[in-house]
Amino acid sequence: MAILNPQQEFDRLLKTIEQCRNAGLPAVASAKAGDLDMLKLAYDFASEAHKGQVRASGEPYIIHPLATAQKLAEMRLDLTTITAGLLHDVPEDTAFTLEDIKKNFGPEIAKLVEGITKLGKLKYRGMERYAENLRKMFVAMSDDIRVVLIKFADRLHNLKTLDVLPPDKQFRIAKETLEIYAPIADRLAIGQIKGELEDLAFKYVYPVDYKWITGIIPQEYKVKERSLKEIKEKVRKQLHDNNIQIDEISLQGRTKHLYSLYKKLLRPHINRDLSKIYDLIALRLIVPTMTDCYGALGILHSMYRPMPGRIKDYIANPKPNGYQSLHTTVFTDDGEIVEFQIRTREMHDQAEFGIAAHWNFKENGGKITAGNLKWLKELVEWQKQIKDNDQFLQTVKLDVFQNRIFVFTPKGDVIDLPEEATPIDFAYHVHSSLGDKCVGARVNDQLVNLGYQLKSGDIVEIITDKNRKMPNPDWIDMVKTSMARGKIRAAMNKQKK
């Protein structure tokens, strides 16, 4: 492995920041004139602090904080966060202290570095022994979300250099990444980071399956890529002829998201059959406006026959994490099955960078506001009430680390629930009294039993009896969310008293 040059890496960082500034990205464009000077001072400070230190890979230690800062710049974050990334290992690994950082770079940067230092002390020893550490992580996130974004960047570089570590340490770090960090990135809607974290950890946690999937994908990808290039040009011409401007039309291959493909292949109805994966390669269209998105969808359907049940409108009905796009799967003239994703540039940035795409750190100091990350605020409040660590872990596994579905109230409001959630979970999510008075449910205008497992896109109507005061005790074993379980227990305890 070639040893990187620190000065060249810092110059690359400055170049990335300059590109973001020229593109008018708000986090960097709104920075004060002195912020870049502060970053240069931070580089000199960190270089001096880590002087003589070498990583297990043999490269100078300063390369790691530089790589962390580089990733934060690529995530389009503000200069305060990038500077904190450059300094994040100083208090833990050098003779310099947090007080030195505060004195030289101010309280905001020092607070971010302190948050990272605390998270750095959390060592993963399996979910069951991790409860207290997770509590600290969620509190840190709710206090300033930038702390966990720096942690993502730090973790990504560590994963890229795992080869030099002993196998047991490789497995521990990779397992923690799949079980903790990737799901949090997913909940923050940072698709790009989630995919990178998963793919880098995949080969260390499931080496046999990783070898299997990397053996079958490249050839399959090449075959599909050739046929899609022709389709791409046909679509480009047709959109142009219909006066729809294209910002970008690109092939999106699953070679970059091997772990999510692997999880999809494990589903019972797919059973490792690659021919049942229709989005192995998708064609992504980025157009200027929302109107153009729907116009492009109509043109695609006039060119190719859409596959029933595979048209998804995430623009009118965004996913709970904010993801917006139109998805359609079509049969092409030669029998190929192709997925198209259609979105605006703003929607694309949201899909790739999630909260980092539009977070104005300078204005709110990384705080969670009423309109965003409701789930995190609820979790922090909920964990104050849950003293038992086992119960807290169950909450976290369900409310954070499980796949999510989104369903609708009859008025069209979106409710975010874990997979396998029931109408009772839905009712308690809307309001305690709705849950307590629940006697039945309609899903998509059809009566269902209260143990019915909801699916994304379902419209759920709860049938109530105003004379009913208490929930059924048997519901405890039926519900999937900690919120519903907690409210049922609270109502039962109240009745006992």
Local confidence band at 51 (pLDDT 50, 70, 90 cut-offs): very high
Residue 33 is predicted with a pLDDT of 60
Residue 130 is predicted with a pLDDT of 61
Residue 249 is predicted with a pLDDT of 75
Look up tokens 């040059």; give the residue: 5
Residue 359 is predicted with a pLDDT of 52
Poorest-pLDDT segment among 82-91, 108-117, 264-273, 327-336: 264-273
Are residues 368 and 359 in contact, defined by beta-carbon separation less than 8 angstroms? no
Residue 313 is predicted with a pLDDT of 92
Task: Tell me how far apart the alpha carbons of residues 47 and 28 are, in angstroms, rounded to a whole number.
Answer: 23
Task: Tell me how far apart the alpha carbons of residues 390 and 379 are, in angstroms, rounded to a whole number.
Answer: 15
The structural architecture, per CATH, of the domain 6-188 is Orthogonal Bundle (1.10)
Model confidence at 29: pLDDT above 90: no
Look up tokens 């770090």; give the residue: 173
Local confidence band at 246 (pLDDT 50, 70, 90 cut-offs): confident
The structural architecture, per CATH, of the domain 207-353 is 2-Layer Sandwich (3.30)
Which residues are 404's β-sheet partners?
A: 418
Token pair for residue 29?
A: 């464009």
CA-based torsion, 411, 416, 420, 426: positive or negative: negative
Q: Is 311 helix (H, G, I), strand (E, B) or coil?
A: coil
Look up tokens 């007080």; give the residue: 99
Burial class (CB in 10 A: 0-12, 13-18, 19+), 186: buried
Q: Indicate the fold that domain 402-496 takes in CATH.
A: Ubiquitin-like (UB roll) (3.10.20)
pLDDT tens across 411-446, in order? 877 787 888 899 999 999 888 889 999 999 999 999
Model pTM? 0.77
Which residue from 95, 84, 77 is spatially nearest to 188, judged by alpha carbons? 77
For residue 164, give the DSSP letter: G
Token pair for residue 381?
A: 């409040």
Local confidence band at 191 (pLDDT 50, 70, 90 cut-offs): confident
Are residues 135 and 127 in contact, defined by beta-carbon separation less than 8 angstroms? no
pLDDT greater at residue 181 or residue 136: 181
Cβ neighbours of residue 196 closer than 8 Å, sequence gap 6 or more: 156
Q: Is 391 helix (H, G, I), strand (E, B) or coil?
A: helix
Q: What stretch of H or E contains 92?
A: helix 90-93
Model confidence at 125: pLDDT above 60: no
Indicate the pairing of strand 414-418 with strand 460-464: unpaired
Q: Identity (one letter) of the amino acid at 113?
A: V
Q: CA angle, corner 201, sides to 141 and 84, nearest 5?
A: 35
Are residues 61 and 70 in contact, defined by beta-carbon separation less than 8 angstroms? no
Model confidence at 362: pLDDT above 60: no
How far lies 223's CA from each of 102, 140, 264, 450, in Å? 56, 47, 21, 47
Domain ranges of the chain: 6-188, 207-353, 402-496
Task: Tell me how far apart the alpha carbons of residues 422 and 420 are, in angstroms, rounded to a whole number.
Answer: 6
Task: Tell me how far apart the alpha carbons of residues 214 and 201 are, in angstroms, rounded to a whole number.
Answer: 14
Indicate the pairing of strand 248-253 with strand 326-331: unpaired
Which residues are 214's β-sheet partners?
A: none
For residue 476, give the DSSP letter: G
Q: What is the mean pLDDT of residues 462-471?
A: 89
Task: Tell me how far apart the alpha carbons of residues 319 and 456 are, in angstroms, rounded to a whole number.
Answer: 9
Q: Is 339 helix (H, G, I), strand (E, B) or coil?
A: strand
For residue 315, give the DSSP letter: T
Which residues are 21's β-sheet partners?
A: none
Local confidence band at 400 (pLDDT 50, 70, 90 cut-offs): low
Q: What is the mean pLDDT of residues 19-23?
A: 78
Which residue from 148, 68, 75 is spatially nearest to 353, judged by alpha carbons? 75
Catalytic annotation, residues: 92-93
Local confidence band at 370 (pLDDT 50, 70, 90 cut-offs): very low
Are residues 376 and 368 in contact, defined by beta-carbon separation less than 8 angstroms? yes
Q: Identity (one letter) of the amino acid at 262?
A: Y
CA-based torsion, 465, 489, 404, 383: positive or negative: positive
Cβ neighbours of residue 342 closer than 8 Å, sequence gap 6 or more: 284, 285, 287, 293, 296, 297, 300, 325, 326, 327, 328
Helix axes 191-205, 146-160, angle to 10 degrees: 40
Q: Identity (one letter) of the amino acid at 448?
A: V
pLDDT tens across 264-275, in order? 888 887 877 777
Which residue from 118, 117, 23, 21 is spatially nearest to 78, judged by alpha carbons? 21
Poorest-pLDDT segment among 46-55, 132-141, 367-376, 473-482: 367-376
